[in-house]
Structure 1
Amino acid sequence: MSRAKRRDRHGRGLRGPLAPPEVPISLTRSEKFDDLVREEVQRIIAPWTERLAGVEFAVEDVPSPGPEEARVPLSTTRTVNGVPRVVVFRRPVESRASSGRDERELVRLVHEVLVEEVSALLGMPPEDIEP
């Protein structure tokens, strides 16, 4: 006895997605983090756009393994083909911010990390970048 396979038990076919792709609920954690970093970069570099014109900003999941360090870096600045690139490491930042389980803590930590990297690039104290 052969039974025809249906898409679901009621024969109505597959259901559609819970939310359309353009709705924020359908963003992954890494996409949300990318958006957060992008927004903070725009906010921080606004007064310094001329001096930071050639700087690239990027997000990577984890830092590449290196010599044993006491702490995992949250960000780094590298020079790639003569262009400075600020890289924020998503997993360590999320891990450090998850102790409070608060979105505001993640935003604050990303902001602090970016301010430190930008201040190092400009050779200025962090207080002058973001009072």
Structure 2
Amino acid sequence: MPRSRRVAPRSPRRLARDRHGRGMRSPVTGPHLPLLSTRLDDFELTIGTTVSYLRGLWPELEGVVFEVAQAPAEAIHDDHIDRWKVYHDERRIVFFRLPIVRFLRLQEGEDRDEKLLVESCVFRAVADFLGRDPWELAPGRYRHL
């Protein structure tokens, strides 16, 4: 089974530990540049912010655990590839990063489209958990003014 990571709010990164008596190490980027973020960090941030938004709207999501894994053990089925897995009895939803991100047909620099796809996967997984249509989760969000 793949190793999964729980989605939690990000805390500021700390300096690395004291090695061989040389003192604390500073970040690679230096003091004047922002810390480096990886694609996994960006993916988890998108899922975390979307989950926080949905938890504010749906109290039924209290206590539900959201996790991120690289890929499922058995992802390929006859008619689809799993992008998330909902465990109703455990109150847990696992998102599989590689099937979500790798099947995008995006050009370089289309980060906004990737973020929208990840958000739509979160909406569909939560809708599956709640037994609702994804569009019912945030009805005022998609209203045309």
The separation in 2 between residues aligned to 1:24 and 1:119, in whole angstroms, is 36
Counterpart among 67, 79, 92 of residue 85 in structure 1: 92
- Structure 2: gaps spanning 5 or more residues: 1-25, 140-145
Q: Quick one: higher RCO (CA 8 Å, sep 6+), 1 or 2? A: 2
What is the aligned counterpart of 1:116 among 106, 119, 124?
Answer: 124
1:130 aligns with 2:138: yes
Q: Does 1:94 align with 2:81?
A: no
Could you give the per-residue CA deviations for residues 75-104 of structure 1, whole angstroms, max 9, x where no partner exists?
A: 11125xx42111111111111235344111
Aligned pairs, number? 112
Q: Secondary structure, in 3 states, of the residue corresponding to 1:30?
A: helix
Amino acid at match of 1:116: R
How far apart are 1:17 and its partner, in Å? 5.8
Partner of 1:26: 36
- After superposition, the C-alpha distances for 1:45-85 in whole angstroms (9 at most, x for unaligned) are 2111x211121101001111267433221111125xx4211
Aligned CA-pair RMSD = 2.4
Greater per-residue helix proportion? 1
Computing the radius of gyration from Cα coordinates, the structure with the larger value is 1
AA matched with 2:50: E
TM score, norm. by length of structure 1: 0.71
Does structure 2 retain, via aligned residues, the 8 Å contact 1:40–1:110? no
Letter in 1 for 2:63: G
Determine if contact 1:77/1:86 at 8 Å carries over to the other structure.
yes
